[in-house]
Amino acid sequence: MSDKPSFLKPETLINVTKQATDATVEPLELGARVKELRLSQKLTLEEVSQLTGLARSTLSKIENEQISPTFSAVNKLAKGLNIDIPQLFTRPVKAESNGSGRRDITRKGEGTPHPTVTYEHELLASTLTRKKMIPFKTTVRTHSWDEYEDWVRHDGEEFLYVLSGRIMLYTEFYEPIELTVGDSAYYDCEMGHALVSLSDEDAEVLWVTA
């Protein structure tokens, strides 16, 4: 491991437009969706700033599609607006009950894509709102520690399972550890963390955040 400070760069979400393949989901521009949610709760930019801890100017730029929010900012928006992360990217046709009996099927390759600088996320079960877990499959694009500058941190806990390839899991308070196919990890998300693919090809992992 190098002598450089152990900081990893937070991933930046890139807005991706996807043609709807299911009548229950309509593709959305993230900025427009954030504004829609804010107005539906009759909140000003200043009030959302206080709820999320994000600067008013930053919120304005997000709403106007001038910048793409970091993964950390997306989590702050969801928490401040009291919604699930998938609700920032999809608008259900009708409200869903929080009761039992819900189900959502995601066919192979049909998840909602969210590429980032270091990861290529595929959000699973994206049409089911108010769920307690956020599952997503991720292709780990980065192959070098030098590509990062700061830790990734967000609320909640996370389960990680390696689907293919080899990865190095970096966590703020532990030594880096290599994980291969079938290995898994569980950690607090407020602790800095990030992944690097060690195999020649991009590794794939399953993440479940709660």
CATH topology for 132-210? Jelly Rolls (2.60.120)
Which mean pLDDT values do the consecutive 10-residue runs of the chain (210 residues) have?
38 33 45 85 87 90 84 85 76 54 89 83 84 89 82 84 97 95 94 91 93
Domain boundaries, the chain: 11-95, 132-210
The CATH code of domain 11-95 reads 1.10.260.40
pTM of full prediction above 0.75: no
* Strands (DSSP E) found in the chain: 112-115, 119-123, 134-140, 157-164, 167-171, 174-179, 184-188, 193-197, 203-209
- Predicted local distance difference test score (pLDDT) of residue 84: 74
- Predicted local distance difference test score (pLDDT) of residue 14: 32
Q: How far apart are CA 135 and CA 30, in angstroms?
A: 19
